[in-house]
Structure 1
Amino acid sequence: MAEIAHMQTASPSTPFNRTLVVPIVLFAAFAAAPLLAAVSGAEGYVLSLLTRVMIFGIAALSLDLILGYGALVSFGHAAFLGIGGYAVGILASHGFEDALIQIPVALAASAIFALGTGAISLRTKGVYFIMITLAFGQMLFFLATSLAAYGGDDGMTLTSRSLLAGSDVLEGDLAFYVFSFLCLVGTYCLSRSIVASRFGRVLRGTRENSVRMEAVGFQPFRYQLTAYVISGMMAGLAGFLLANQAEFVSPAYMTWQRSGELIFMVVLGGLGSLHGAVIGAAAFLLLEEFLPEILHNLAFFMNDDIRYRLAENWKMVFGPLLILTVLFARGGIMGMLRRTDHG
């Protein structure tokens, strides 16, 4: 209670309030990026990279809603990316190319899958929940590989991006970037309102002690299932955007490795911090993009063959680097920012 009272009476200059500027700075940076990209002379590359960052930011944010606030470790969350992506590919192959049709279908399909699998998975706890979500994710992965009519293992190449109200405005990289940015902001605001609501407080209560929440009259299962469905729908939206950004969809979207990457993004950014999930996704993808070049340049004192091999096998450095960050940076990137703010 004393801590709460301190937070309520803190002045605007206190560390607690200073951390509130992080999401504002984050979204302002995304909003300003197209201007900086135009000046840099590499507009197409920068917009493509940052669009991908925002898309995975939505996916990580959706996972953080159930992992950070509900302690539900889903190892099959990438299945929803695949559902959103295949909603685009399958509908487009049958002549339904408008986003106003594809998005509702992607959201509905994701919700149905989340409702069915969540109703089963949430009756388990701990490692059993992790394994059953992994099993459902792999089940959907193998289903996608068996869809020979829609590319099977090879996936589907989209002839163009989705239309928007009959217009091909999303074909432009800048327009698609803005659309993805609006989706990210909308998803973040929705998640923030959910977390701050009575529903969010109950969800956090079930994370701490579900037995006690049930004893005071709440039904944890219903709240967790609702959160799981909402989270799946958000990830389905990310899948829709990912398919359009790459103009390709394949079963690789829903592998367990992709689910593991999403968990890493959330933990890297900081559990229970929605903007932290977006920051974690950005850090993960930017490291993945630039680490080979960084390693190549750092090894300037070695011969060219060793430098090439080091850059080629950058994942041998990337993996331990992420593990060390998670082990020693308690609370992820947001945790480090808070400690810096206090210290």
Structure 2
Amino acid sequence: MIAERYVNLMVLAGLLALPVWALIADQPFTITLATRAVILALAAVGLNIALGIGGLVSLGHAAFFGLGGYAMGILASHAQSYAPLDLGFLTVPGSKSMPVIWLTAVVASALGALVIGLLSVRSAGVYFIMLTLAFGQMFYYFAISWSAYGGEDGLSIYVRNGFPGLNTLVPIQFYGLCLALLCAALVLNWRLRASPFGLALNAARQVPQRVETVGLSPFRLRLWAFVISGAVTGLAGALFADLNRFVSPSMFSWQMSGELIVLIVIGGVGRLFGPVIGAALFVALEHWLGGLTAFWHVWLGAVLLGIVLFARGGVVGLLTGKDGPHV
């Protein structure tokens, strides 16, 4: 069996080597596929903070993914049309600057997670799952009816947003930007796990009564984890919309939330690099099997079924011989 840290290093080396090979081989589409995998991994890393450490099985994280995407779409569309965003009490200029858009996406997603968390984190199990699903669907149907920003047809952005010192239209440069943010999120996840907050959150997942006896509130621990998780997923949503230069209500759909959970389950729940491995395998299967048959989801389902039945720790658990946390 392989130590988990070596698995993590091999995955990181692969993320660095693949786009370099694609650049040398003049295959920009491979870089775009890798960028998609990295962005989905970032979204799943965000969810894994709530799911892997806090045991919060959220089926509504697409709400934050979509909030990040629409934050990008709205700011970029107003910059595109040279018309400021009128909020009634405040006029906000549009922006094509990625740092500004990222900050807006993170704040909007964190606020959304705070509101949803205040109303849902007190529940547990299937009730929590259904509450988060309901909130996600509320955002989905609101986006469909929001005709000012495309409604059901979505919103197109003609030119990718900019980052100081980089040409984001060059695939390898945009990939490097996304990979840097993924690494930052992985470091955040790693530091949270080892911090007193992460240890208390893990304890609240296992035996909340003991956490209460030492004067800590399991509700507050879960709420903060949910907010941090939503903020990271919202950042991924902004990057995903920038990659496609398009944002649509499908970013809010429950299928998107389910997809993020699938990525974590494939890689390994609670594993640091589990979401990264899951996203890479998902995008690879989507690309290779999608070229063979329109029913490639059947094979994905078979892979997922095999992991659930025979590899409870996901791919990482299979390689290291250790199961992940039970949630």
**Do the two structures share a fold, i.e. TM-score over 0.5?**
yes
Contact preservation (8 Å) 1:78, 1:253: yes
User: 2:82 corresponds to which residue?
Assistant: none
Deviation, 1:24, is 1.8
User: 1:128 corresponds to which residue?
Assistant: 127
User: 2:231 corresponds to which residue?
Assistant: 233
Q: Please, what TM-score do these two structures have when normalized by structure 1?
A: 0.86
Single out whichever of 316-325 and 209-218 deviates more from structure 2.
Answer: 316-325
Cα deviation, 1:55-106, whole Å, max 9, x if unaligned, reads 0001111111111111100000111111111011101111111112111110
User: 1:148 corresponds to which residue?
Assistant: 147
Deviation, 1:29, is 1.5
Cα deviation, 1:93-134, whole Å, max 9, x if unaligned, reads 111111121111101100110001101101111110000000
User: 2:56 corresponds to which residue?
Assistant: 72
User: 1:250 corresponds to which residue?
Assistant: 248
Number of matched residues? Answer: 307
The residue identity in structure 2 corresponding to 1:19 is E
Matched, 1:336 2:318: yes
Contact preservation (8 Å) 1:74, 1:130: yes
The residue identity in structure 2 corresponding to 1:317 is W
Higher-Rg member (1/2): 1
Contact preservation (8 Å) 1:91, 1:102: yes
Matched, 1:39 2:39: no
Determine the C-alpha separation between the residues in 2 that align with 1:89 and 1:111: 18
Contact preservation (8 Å) 1:162, 1:168: no
User: 1:92 corresponds to which residue?
Assistant: 76
Matched, 1:160 2:144: no
Cα deviation, 1:275-311, whole Å, max 9, x if unaligned, reads 0111111112211111244xx4xxxxxxxxxxxxxx2
Matched, 1:54 2:30: no
What is the RMSD computed on CA atoms of the aligned residues? 1.5
For the residue of structure 2 that corresponds to 1:280, the secondary structure is helix
The residue identity in structure 2 corresponding to 1:283 is L
Determine the C-alpha separation between the residues in 2 that align with 1:39 and 1:170: 19
Contact preservation (8 Å) 1:65, 1:274: no
Contact preservation (8 Å) 1:164, 1:170: yes
Determine the C-alpha separation between the residues in 2 that align with 1:156 and 1:115: 26
Matched, 1:208 2:206: yes
For the residue of structure 2 that corresponds to 1:312, the secondary structure is coil
Cα deviation, 1:165-211, whole Å, max 9, x if unaligned, reads 4x672121111011001001111111111111111100100110111
Contact preservation (8 Å) 2:166, 2:173: no
Relative to its length, the structure with more helix (as a share) is 1
Deviation, 1:28, is 1.8
Deviation, 1:34, is 2.2
Contact preservation (8 Å) 1:146, 1:152: yes
For the residue of structure 1 that corresponds to 2:74, the secondary structure is helix
Runs in 1 of length 4+ with deviation above 6 angstroms? none
User: 1:220 corresponds to which residue?
Assistant: 218
The residue identity in structure 2 corresponding to 1:138 is Q
The residue identity in structure 1 corresponding to 2:67 is I
Determine the C-alpha separation between the residues in 1 that align with 2:39 and 2:290: 23
User: 1:302 corresponds to which residue?
Assistant: none
User: 1:283 corresponds to which residue?
Assistant: 281
For 2:174, which of 171, 176, 179 is the aligned residue?
A: 176
User: 2:307 corresponds to which residue?
Assistant: 325
For the residue of structure 2 that corresponds to 1:20, the secondary structure is helix
User: 1:273 corresponds to which residue?
Assistant: 271
Contact preservation (8 Å) 1:118, 1:225: yes
Q: Please, what TM-score do these two structures have when normalized by structure 2?
A: 0.90
Structure 2: runs of 5 or more not aligned: 80-94, 323-327
Q: 1:157 to 1:45 in 2, by over 3 A?
A: same
Determine the C-alpha separation between the residues in 1 that align with 2:37 and 2:321: 26
User: 2:187 corresponds to which residue?
Assistant: 189
Deviation, 1:321, is 2.9
For 1:262, which of 238, 260, 263 is the aligned residue?
A: 260
Sequence identity, in percent?
43
Matched, 1:81 2:65: yes
Determine the C-alpha separation between the residues in 1 that align with 2:166 and 2:13: 27
Contact preservation (8 Å) 2:50, 2:225: yes
Determine the C-alpha separation between the residues in 2 that align with 1:214 and 1:137: 30
For the residue of structure 2 that corresponds to 1:68, the secondary structure is helix
User: 2:84 corresponds to which residue?
Assistant: none
Determine the C-alpha separation between the residues in 2 that align with 1:237 and 1:136: 19
